[in-house]
Structure 1
Amino acid sequence: MAHIAFISLAESGHLNPTLPIAAELVACGHRVTFPADDAMAARIRATGAQTIPYVPAPAETIVIDSMDAAARATLNMLKQLEHALPQIEAGYAGDHPDLIVNDWLAWDGPMLAAKWHTPRIQSWSSFAASEGYDFGKFIVDMFAGSSSKAEFDTLLTAILERHGIPSMELHDFYKPADFNLVYQPKAFHVHNETFDDRYAFVGPTNLPEPQDYTPPGRPLVYAALGTIISDPDFFHTCVQAFAGQPYHVVLSVGRAIDPAVLGPLPDNIEAHQFVPQTSVLAHADAFVTHAGMNSTMEALAAGVPMLALPYTPEQQTTAERIAELGLGHTLTPTDATADQLRTIVADLLDDTVTRQRHTAMQEEVRRAGGAPAAVDAIEARLP
């Protein structure tokens, strides 16, 4: 059996799609490892995979509200890599994997694969790059006018030289590998006609788990902005919008917000820092979301119409695709007033045509194959 290393960011949207794949690979008898900090370790070990521990550098909190802020956040990712890479290399000393599966933002994956001459699969927790869709060009253009560019270029060159890694540029990290796993059904992906057999569109791997959650009332509206975005004003607006409406509302506000800041809540609204999202979505009738790819795919798997409020360019692309395919509506966060939220959610709850489109997309999700299809693709490419 093979040794397969998964390399991911700690954020749920990047890590979570890989965990069911890791569990299936372990069940097949493979040894699976993940470089992991303390925030990731418990979730990884629950799959049966092993962890290669590292300690991250103290992180600067950056609100991505401009192109320059996005460039600084990208620079900070490279600084984190600089800190973690020596620890990860030491953890794999004398035990290099047979195959690396790395998240598209886990740049230590392509670096180590090049240094160790190890085959690599790129794991796309967002839209994958192709001839028709090149998010990397957007990043390069973003950096062109940024005060962070010179520091980024200097640091990247220093890391590569220090570790004996062949020359790489920023755009290289956003290009496809020789083979790529994409956690979307192909029908949802933008410019899907431009992809070839280098890509396996396996769809979402975290499928709904209705047995883990009992809905407190129906219809059920679920609102969440993921694990990174923190916007207390949005959740205050949700309370204003949905108080006294003829449906139950579950708010997942994130670990950075104390639900108590929302004050006393109406009987039809509850707020938590965290809920089991796939289990709630299995019963939800509408989903107000930031349009993160992981959340969007979980909603598609559950057949839940969405109101998308994108905060980042990547989320904007996802939100536009949701609207284009008739799977929901989109608003900018600044346009998400209480009246707008109330009106659009009411429309979603009554919209049978949107639900029919979701039923068709659920079939696309089923055919994509999820974690078992990903395992087949990985095993087919083991050396």
Structure 2
Amino acid sequence: MAHIAFIAPGAFGHINPTLPIVRELTARGHRVTYATDAAMADTVRAAGAEPVTYRLKPVEPLVLDGMEAAARGTLALLEEVEQALPQIEDAYEDDRPDVLVNDWLGWSGALLAAKWGVPRVQSWSAHAASEGYDFGAFIVGMFQAAPAVKAEFDALLAVLLERHDLPPVELHDFYRPAARNLVYQPRAFHVRNETFDDRYAFVGPTRLTEPADFTPPGSPLVLVSLGTIIEEPEFFRTCVSAFADQPYHVILSVGTGIDPRDLGPLPVNIEAHQRVPQPAVLAHADAFVTHTGMNSTMEALGSAVPMVAIPHTPEQQTTAERITDLGLGTVLTPDAVTADTLRTAVNDLLANAATRQRVRAMQQEVLTAGGAPRAAGVIEGQLPTG
């Protein structure tokens, strides 16, 4: 039995793709530990992992509305490492893993694997980076627009490297691939996929269905969600205006920070919930209005659901562009969303047979990528022999 450690930030978008892999590894007899924010302890424990938790100081959320704000967001990642890394290192002092799997933003994992000399697999919960698709270069350019923030970053990184006796590392290194990499998309969907070599395993989504008692309330069915982080009550009010009295049923998943009652009385064809069993709903949906988070996008493609993409971040914008490039849906920028544009986009999507055909073809790529069993095999392949 091997000891396999996962390290990821305490956010569902980073952790969810790994949970089916944890279940697969434990079913194969391995011991799995999972280092993450204390708030996620129950989530990783339910998948079969032993939580190794750390605690972070509360901070004000950043609004990424410009290059300097984005630079400060990157600095905030390093400030999290400053707090989390010593807590993680202490927990593993007498319990070193045989292989370490870190999320691409789980920088503590990359640093500790190098210090311990432990094989590492990188988990790309977003688009993966390669020499031909080097978004680390964007981060470097972003800091050029915010030199004062870059100076803070470099100073803190130097302190961390000395304090924890870590091998030399620079900002750009955090965005480079590991010797083995798990990508939760099929190769056919990934941007610049021709630039990726055999270091990358395009295992596709690991979580396509989940047990749920869900009966579709009407057909056609349209699901609307902006994920677990974006909270925009006015957007959902616009949805109510757009879809009232349309010949399809609409489910709004508004997020835990919004009270559905605040949307006012709803038409009979619209219902609103803070959360829904998204994969189960998508299994019956005919269209999906989405922020194009990677997990949501892959769940939609796994159920052959075309999308109206409304991206809010650069990563989501890349995913949305890929959706349009491959003819899997359409895109609206957030500032272009009105009741009329939203209604038109959904109606056009529901009427477009060619889009549905392309989405079904991509569904086959998703379903044959290998998922959690293939990902577990990649991790096992990094275990030291003997």
* Aligned 1:27-38 pairs, distance under 5 A: 27-38=27-38
Q: Is the CA contact (8 Å cut-off) linking 1:259 and 1:272 kept in structure 2? A: yes
User: Which piece of structure 1 moves more, 295-304 or 76-85?
Assistant: 76-85
Q: Residues 177-256 of structure 1: matches in 2 within 5 Å?
A: 177-209=178-210, 212-256=213-257
Contact 2:24–2:376 at 8 Å: present in 1 too? yes
Q: In 2, distance between residues paired with 1:32 and 1:359?
A: 35
Whole-Å Cα distance in 1 between the matches of residues 274 and 79 of structure 2?
A: 29
Alignment of 1:339-358 (within 5 A): 339-358=340-359
Letter in 2 for 1:377: V
TM-score by length of 2: 0.97
Per-residue CA deviation, residues 166-196 of structure 1 (Å, 9 max, x unaligned), is 1111110100111111000000001111111
Equivalence for 2:266: 265
Aligned partners of 2:220, 2:240: CA distance in 1, in Å?
16
What is the distance in 2 between the residues matched to 1:289 and 1:3? 37
Name structure 2 gaps, 5 residues minimum.
Answer: none
2:80 & 2:258 partners in 1: Cα distance? Answer: 25
8 Å Cα contact 2:9-2:37 kept in structure 1: no
Task: List per-residue Cα deviations over 1:121-145 (Å, max 9, x = no partner).
Answer: 1111111111221111111111111
In the alignment, the residues of structure 1 paired with residue 253 and residue 244 of structure 2 have an alpha-carbon distance, to the nearest angstrom, of 16
Distance of 2:117 and 2:158 partners within structure 1:
20
Is 2:26 the partner of 1:23?
no
Q: Aligned partner of 2:7: which letter?
A: I
Counterpart amino acid of residue 279 in structure 1:
A
Shift of residue 59, structure 1, vs aligned partner: 2.4
Matched residue, 1:69: 69
Residue segments in structure 1 that go unaligned for 5+ positions in a row = none
Q: Which residue of 2 aligns with 1:279?
A: 280
Q: Distance in 2 between matches of 1:59 and 1:244?
A: 43
**Structure 1 SS opposite 2:102:** strand
Q: What SS class does the counterpart of residue 52 from structure 1 fall into?
A: strand
> Is the Cα–Cα contact under 8 Å of residues 210 and 280 in structure 1 kept in the other structure?
no
Which residue identity lines up with residue 38 of structure 2 in the other structure?
Answer: D
Counterpart residue type for residue 150 of structure 2: K
Normalising by the residue count of structure 1, what TM-score does the alignment of the two structures yield? 0.97
CA distance in 2, matches of 1:67, 1:258: 32
- What are the superposed Cα offsets for residues 6-65 of structure 1, whole Å, 9 maximum, x if unpaired? 111111111100000000000000000111333211111111111112112212211222
Q: What secondary structure does 1:17 align onto? A: helix
Higher mean displacement: 286-295 or 34-43: 34-43
| AA of the residue aligned to 1:288 | V
Moved more, 59-68 or 134-143: 59-68
Cα-to-partner distance string for 1:145-182 (whole Å, 9 max, x where unaligned):
11422111111111121111111111101001111110
CA distance in 1, matches of 2:17, 2:50: 17
> What percent identity do the matched residue pairs reach?
66
Task: Quote the Cα distance in structure 2 between the aligned partners of 1:88 and 1:258.
Answer: 36
CA displacement at 1:210 relative to structure 2: 7.2
User: Which residue of structure 1 aligns with residue 104 of structure 2?
Assistant: 104
- The corresponding residue for 2:371 is 370
Kindly provide the CA deviation profile for residues 346-376 of structure 1, in whole angstroms up to 9, marking residues without a partner as x. 1111111111111111111122110011011
- Once residues 239 and 48 of structure 2 are traced to their aligned partners in structure 1, the CA distance between those partners, rounded to angstroms, is 39
| Structure 1 consecutive aligned stretches of length 4 or more whose deviation exceeds 3 Å | 209-212
Residue 9 of structure 1 is matched in structure 2 by 9
Give the counterpart letter for 1:2 in structure 2: A
Deviates more, 1:280-289 or 1:36-45: 36-45
- Indicate if the aligned counterparts of 1:202 and 1:371 stay in contact, CA closer than 8 A: yes
CA deviation vs aligned residue, 1:271-298 (integer Å, no higher than 9, x gap): 1111111111111111111111111111
The alpha-carbon deviation at position 114 of structure 1 amounts to 0.9
Corresponding position of 1:306: 307
Q: Is the 8 A contact 2:113 2:120 kept in 1?
A: yes
Structure 1 CA distance for aligned equivalents of residues 263 and 22 of structure 2: 38
Helix, strand or coil: the match of 1:101? strand
Contact 1:209–1:282 (8 Å) recurs in 2: no
